[in-house]
């Protein structure tokens, strides 16, 4: 799938003060985090270098809507009751699975990642339109997930207001914070090995 580096992901929360500091300085038009000492470029190269997700390939948003819906994808969705699919339910499915690398397991992982790290919205649930573009024989490693993340970041501050839970940031918040912290902290080897909540708590904001 091309997401192996995320197995080293240690961050389990974001400090509120640091979040506001980074978001306030993020310019979605120039795709830069503007700091007193310089600028941090937010592009596909930086995202791929940081977390290693697939870069290049097919743009997810350019894929046509699958009609009729893929039966296997529909069966995956039917495992979750209710109108919305929150990431907690997908995590539960992953934790109770037998570990077999099948379509359901890959979808649970990938859709949880998309919901939490790329296309977050205030309901905190999976956006249905994504499922309309996915088929059971799709090679997820051929999708340009870095570009998808950038597309969402360009719109992330629309309606956003600092410290207002009713007007949340709807993009890849974690990635922006990690890019900022990564520019401030020196590490060795895989960057995700040293980026943790403790490191984020120590970062200056």
* Residue pLDDT, tens place only, 156-165: 887 777 777 7
The whole-number average pLDDT for the span 135-156 is 93
**Strand 38-41's sheet: what is its strand order?**
26-27, 32-35, 38-41
Closest C-alpha among 5, 16, 40, 8 to residue 196: 8
CA Rg, the chain, in Å? 17
What is the rounded CA–CA span in Å between residue 193 and residue 205?
22
Give strand ranges (E) for the chain. 26-27, 32-35, 38-41
Closest C-alpha among 125, 129, 45 to residue 88: 125
DSSP SS3 for 156: coil
Q: In this structure, what token pair is assigned to residue 153?
A: 């970041």
* Residue pLDDT, tens place only, 110-130: 999 998 888 876 666 788 889
DSSP SS3 for 98: coil
Q: What is the pTM of this model?
A: 0.84
Q: What is the pLDDT of residue 188?
A: 47
What is the rounded CA–CA span in Å between residue 150 and residue 55?
11
Q: Are 107 and 126 in contact (CB under 8 A)?
A: no
Token pair 């249905």 is found at 128
* Residue pLDDT, tens place only, 89-98: 999 999 998 8
């Amino acid at each position: 799938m091309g997401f192996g580096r995320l197995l080293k992901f240690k961050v389990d929360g974001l400090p509120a003060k640091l979040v506001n500091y980074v978001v306030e300085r993020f310019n979605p038009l120039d795709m830069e985090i503007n700091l007193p000492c310089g600028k941090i470029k937010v592009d596909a190269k930086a995202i791929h270098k940081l977390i290693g997700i697939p870069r290049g390939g097919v743009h997810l948003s350019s894929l046509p809507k699958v009609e009729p819906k893929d039966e296997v994808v529909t069966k995956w969705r039917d495992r979750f009751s209710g109108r919305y699919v929150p990431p907690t339910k997908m995590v539960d499915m992953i934790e109770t699975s037998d570990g077999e690398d099948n379509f359901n397991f890959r979808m649970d992982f990938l859709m949880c990642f998309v919901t939490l790290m790329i296309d977050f919205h205030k309901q905190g649930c999976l956006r249905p339109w994504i499922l309309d573009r996915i088929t059971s024989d799709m090679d997820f490693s051929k999708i340009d997930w870095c570009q998808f993340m950038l597309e969402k970041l360009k719109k992330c501050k629309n309606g956003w207001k600092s410290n207002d839970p009713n007007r949340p940031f709807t993009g890849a918040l974690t990635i922006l914070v990690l890019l900022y912290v990564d520019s401030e902290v020196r590490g060795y080897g895989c960057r995700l090995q040293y980026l943790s909540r403790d490191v984020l708590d120590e970062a200056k904001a």
